[in-house]
Amino acid sequence: MAWRLRLAPEKTNIDFFKLQWITFGGSVVLMVLSFVAWGVMGLNYGIDFKGGTTLRTESATVIDTALYRSTLDGLNLGDVAINEVFDPSFRADQHVASIRLSAANGQDQIDNADMKRVSEALTAMDPALKIVSVETVGPKVSSELVWSSIIALAATSLGILAYIWLRFEWQFALGGVLALLHDVVITVGIFAVFQIKFDLTIVAALLTILGYSINDTVVVFDRLRENLMKYKTMPLKEVMNLSVNETLSRTLATSFTTLLAVGSMLAFGGDVIRGFSFAIFMGIILGTYSSVYVAKNLVLFLGLDRTDKPRASGKGADHEFANIDA
Amino acid sequence: MQLETPLWKRVVVWAAVLVGLILAAPNLFYSRVETHNDAASAIAKAEKLGGAATPDQTAALAVWPAWAPSGLVNLGLDLRGGAHLLAEVKLADVYKQRMDAFWPDARDALKEVRDATGPVKRKPSPDGTLRITLTNPEGMPAALAKLQGLTANVVSLTGAGQKDMDIVADGGDIVITLSDAEKAATDTRTMQQSLEIIRRRVDAAGTREPSIQRQGADRILIEVPGIGSAEELKAIIGTTAKLTFNTVIGQGSDKAANPGVGNLLLPAADQQGLYYTVEEAPVVTGDDLVDAQPSFDQNGRPAVSFRFDTSGARKFGEYTGAHVGEPFAIVLDKQVISAPTIQTAITGGSGIITGNFTVEGSTNLAVLLRAGALPAEMTFLEERTVGPELGQDSIDAGQIAAITGMVLVGVFMQASYGIFGFFANITLVISMGIIFGILSMIGGTLTLPGIAGLVLTIGTAVDANVLVYERIREELRHAKTAARAIELGYERATSAIVDANVTTLITSIVLYFFGAGPVRGFAVALFIGIITSVFTALFVTRLIIQVWFNWRKPKTLIV
């Protein structure tokens, strides 16, 4: 037989429930910790959600943040934050800074006159400096964006819930969507712990995670549904293990190819989109994990009605041994 | 055993692939096709105005053949550079203007019932309401009847049959406001006018493919590629350019002076510390203009000459005839540009505005006056500018990332599935081509997150193939014939493929409605990417495998 790269042996027989107090329990603990980090450390919100102005400057001169600060402090603006940006894709003489400004007290947002003073002061400080992007988000829009982000996340979750419910049983739908929330919550937790800038594109990434990571779960569920019909007497737990084992090499292969692609985006895509790529990267890892270790555990916990649908007069769900005479 | 697919199905699939790739082809010659397209639209514009193509334009048109498809993927502002503005139109401004304009009419109408009401007076009231006090409240019924006669029916589908104003008695006062139906109709008109005027102004500035869209009840999203900064854009569209000719009541240097009800205290544009008191209701407005051109006054200073339409000319003629020797104010955006004294009745309908203009200033003002005034003031809620350098850096980085991603995935697929991996890789390239073809066809916009969406699609595009291949492997284990295993593999993997991708489609639809600009570009890329990759995996790869299988007729199958 020709050589083939294999991420998993041809036939596996792993008991995915064996260490469930560590795996499933670990997930629960991580989720709790994510909420704690979110609550205690807070997220490093970008101007999309907080309002304000960010500038991106580029210069051939090495950046002296203290000089930038003293230049801008003299302008009587609100808070000023200066960060130097590093990225392997930059040219040797490309020095990039990200500057966050807020308007002086009593003013909603930076206006044209403020912007003019800022750009004049910066070019006076360093004639080689160029402002390559400016973004201003007013307080009215930023508070709306918070709401529309929450609504978008909720709408996507509900849409997925409804679709899976339609195609499978409600237990699958609920289990799958709870596993998704697990992925999203932990990703947000990571953003809180590392204080990575959280803006609109990160919400877009979270939405993508919702859509992507249910993918693995659906494939497992699809196999589970098939096997449930095939092995009517096998205990639910075993059918689940069998289904996950059977789909394992596919799950790993898909996640791996996607990680390769997103990984190259993370490495070479530039700093503008790094947060977005990182969120998706984490989401894929978490999503793969949760479709193997979280989603089906939830379905098991919720229980499945394995009686045949036409025999509605049956005594109700007898999860493990229903339909013996089938 | 042969693998069979009906001929029509094969033809349809290959035709779809071919069309997709042909549509994508212009993107390989991006700058050339763009030059061609720009020239074509410039020539079309010139011909519409009765002109002809310049030699330069004809040469530019010829760099890409006319018979070839010329649709391109638009580059988003974050890749091309440009400015994005979200403006909010102050709709209530118009209510106020309407009420202020109604006061002279109401006053004249009430003169006819003066015997019953006694003298009437306008009282201070919130913007958008008109409060009139009657000296004799007994005259109220007569006054109300008179004013009701001035109201008209609302002209709109939903508000049909309703009056445009609510006129009610409040003690000895009459309170007049716009009715809700009229407010709704006014809002629609205000938004349409604002959109139209912004479009005209941006077009006059001559930038490429601006996008001007209404968002929600009172917002306008303006995206202009290639413009240097949001400030520049705001200077073009942020000026109201409301020109009025008002009666001057007095002038002074006290900026806190009380102008009195129905009057305004306005600063002089060219003289610090000089304030004019003018009547708030204008004699004529910029709406009555038919033309405005930059010109010079008799002293050779830059000025703007203008011409009124017939009704404007009549009103202006009557007014100047009746007020010879008095000053009147030319007011632009709440500043008095000049306040000349009327020498004689001006009946010709044309005139000249002098002031402290530069040549550039008078040219701009003429453009703004021609395009018309914005019906209401705008505030800017969100501004984003990306410079072209940053956009180019993003394109370069995105390209490197996409190519690296494709190579890595390709190597992995080859190593994991051998010849079948190779087939999947061919389809991957085809599906990328088709995605670009579809994006070009629908005029979709590629943004930086959109590139990330495409890269993500590279990962997921092979997923459907992986699902099928894994399934074929399983079926092979159950010792079926090779051909049967392939068929079963496709058959049994389809439900998982469809279910897994519908959920991502749901996400991309929500993303589209949730996001603007870059995020929307991502949603479009994701949506098209999923449809295309499922199509290519289920049909194109299958056909390739079939051709190979029927040609090589392998005894055993190694996936």
Query: Which pLDDT score, from 0 to 100, does residue A115 have?
Result: 85
Pairing mode of beta strands A80-85, A95-101: antiparallel
Name which of B413, B398, B77, B450 is nearest A266 in CA terms.
B398
What pLDDT does A324 receive? Answer: 40
Is residue A9 domain-resident?
A: no
Statement to judge: residues A67 and A176 lie in one domain: no
Q: Are residues A289 and A163 in the same domain?
A: yes
For residues B225-249, average pLDDT = 81
pLDDT in tens, B55-95: 888 888 888 888 888 888 888 888 888 999 999 999 998 89
* B385·A204 Cβ contact <8 A: no
Average pLDDT over residues B533-556: 88
Q: Which residues of B touch A295 (CB under 8 A)?
A: none
- Taking a C-beta distance cutoff of 8 angstroms, is the pair B95, B186 a contact? yes
- Arithmetic mean of pLDDT, B199-214: 80
Cβ-contact B229, A134 below 8 angstroms: yes
Per-residue pLDDT, B156? 67
Alpha carbon B378 to its chain centroid, in Å, reads 15
Same domain, A128 and A61: yes
| Contact between chains at B500 and A268 (C-beta distance less than 8 A) | no
Asked if B400 reaches chain A (Cβ–Cβ under 8 Å), the answer is yes
Letter string b/e over residues B51-64, b meaning 16 or more CB atoms within 10 A of that residue's CB: eebeeebeebbeeb
What is the structure's pLDDT at A39? Answer: 93
Q: Which domain holds residue A31?
A: 20-44+142-302
Query: Which residues fall within 8 angstroms of residue B305, CB to CB, at 6 or more apart?
Result: B292, B293, B295, B350, B351, B352, B353
* Closest CA of chain A from B219, distance in Å: 11
CA B246 to the chain's CA centroid: 34
Count Cβ atoms below 10 Å from residue B362 Cβ, excluding itself.
Answer: 23
Cβ–Cβ below 8 Å for B384 and A212:
no
Residue range B239-383 in CATH 1.10.10.10? no
Whether the ipTM is more than 0.95: the answer is no
Structure tokens at B556: 């055993």
Residue B376 has pLDDT above 70, yes or no: yes
Q: Does residue A324 lie within any of the structural domains? A: no
Asked if A289 and A243 sit in the same domain, the reply is yes
The average pLDDT across B331-351 equals: 82
Confidence (pTM): 0.82
Scan for tokens 């970008």, then name that residue: A46
Chain B residues touching A160 at Cβ < 8 A:
503, 506-507
Residue B157's pLDDT is what?
A: 65
Closest C-alpha to B466, from A72, A253, A100: A253
Based on the fold, state whether residues A25 and A156 are members of the same structural domain.
yes
Whether residue A72 sits in one domain with residue A40: no
pLDDT along chain A (326 residues), means of 10: 76 84 90 94 90 91 89 85 87 90 78 85 90 89 88 91 90 92 95 93 89 85 90 90 90 90 92 92 93 88 72 41 41
Nearest to A257 among B234, B409, B470 (CB): B409
For residue A265, is it within any domain? Answer: yes
Alpha helices (runs of H) in B286-371, residue ranges in sequence order: 310-322, 359-371
Classify residue A25 by burial, with Cβ atoms within 10 Å: 0-12, 13-18, 19+.
exposed
Per the domain annotation, does A7 fall within a domain? no
CATH assignment of the domain containing A163: 1.20.1640.10
- Residues B247 and B280: their CA atoms lie apart, in Å, by 8
CA proximity to B231, closest of B391, B385, B387:
B385
Residues B7-28+388-552: name the CATH superfamily. Multidrug efflux transporter AcrB transmembrane domain (1.20.1640.10)
Mean pLDDT of B274-288: 86
Concatenated DSSP letters of B460-493: HHHHHHHHHHHHHHHHHHTT--HHHHHHHHHHHH
Helix (H) or strand (E) holding A197: strand A197-198
User: Does A165 share its domain with A147?
Assistant: yes
- Number of domains observed in the structure of chain A: 2
Question: What is the DSSP code string of B179-209?
Answer: -HHHHHHHHHHHHHHHHHHHHHHHHHHT-SS
Last residue of a domain, one of A88, A104, A136: A136
Asked whether residue A82 is domain-assigned, the answer is: yes
If asked whether residues A277 and A263 sit together in one domain, one would say yes
Residue A116 covered by a domain: yes
Same domain, A101 and A169: no
Q: Which of A77-81, B219-223, B512-516 has the highest mean pLDDT?
A: B219-223
Chain B contact set for A208 (CB, 8 A): 453, 456, 507, 511, 522, 526
CATH code for the domain of A78: 3.30.70.3220
- Residue B412 is predicted with a pLDDT of 93
Contacts of B458 in chain A (CB under 8 A): 257, 261
Helix (H, G, I), strand (E, B) or coil at B176: strand
Q: Dihedral of the CA atoms A83, A88, A94, A97 (nearest 10)? A: -10
pLDDT in tens, B436-493: 999 999 888 888 888 888 888 888 888 889 889 988 988 888 867 888 889 899 998 8
Dist CA B358 CA B361 (whole Å): 5
Alpha-carbon separation of residue B408 from A64, B309, B478 (angstroms): 39, 69, 32
A212 belongs to a structural domain:
yes
A152 and A293 together in one domain: yes
- Same domain? For A105 and A148 the reply is no
The rounded distance, in Å, linking the Cα atoms of B145 and B151 is 10
Q: Both A124 and A163 in a single domain?
A: no
8 Å CB contact of A204 and B519:
yes
Domain extent listing, chain B: 7-28+388-552, 92-185, 239-383
Is the dihedral angle over the CA atoms A193, A194, A196, A201 positive or is it negative? negative
Q: How far apart are CA B358 and CA B364, in angstroms?
A: 10
Torsion over CA: B479, B482, B487, B493 (sign)? positive
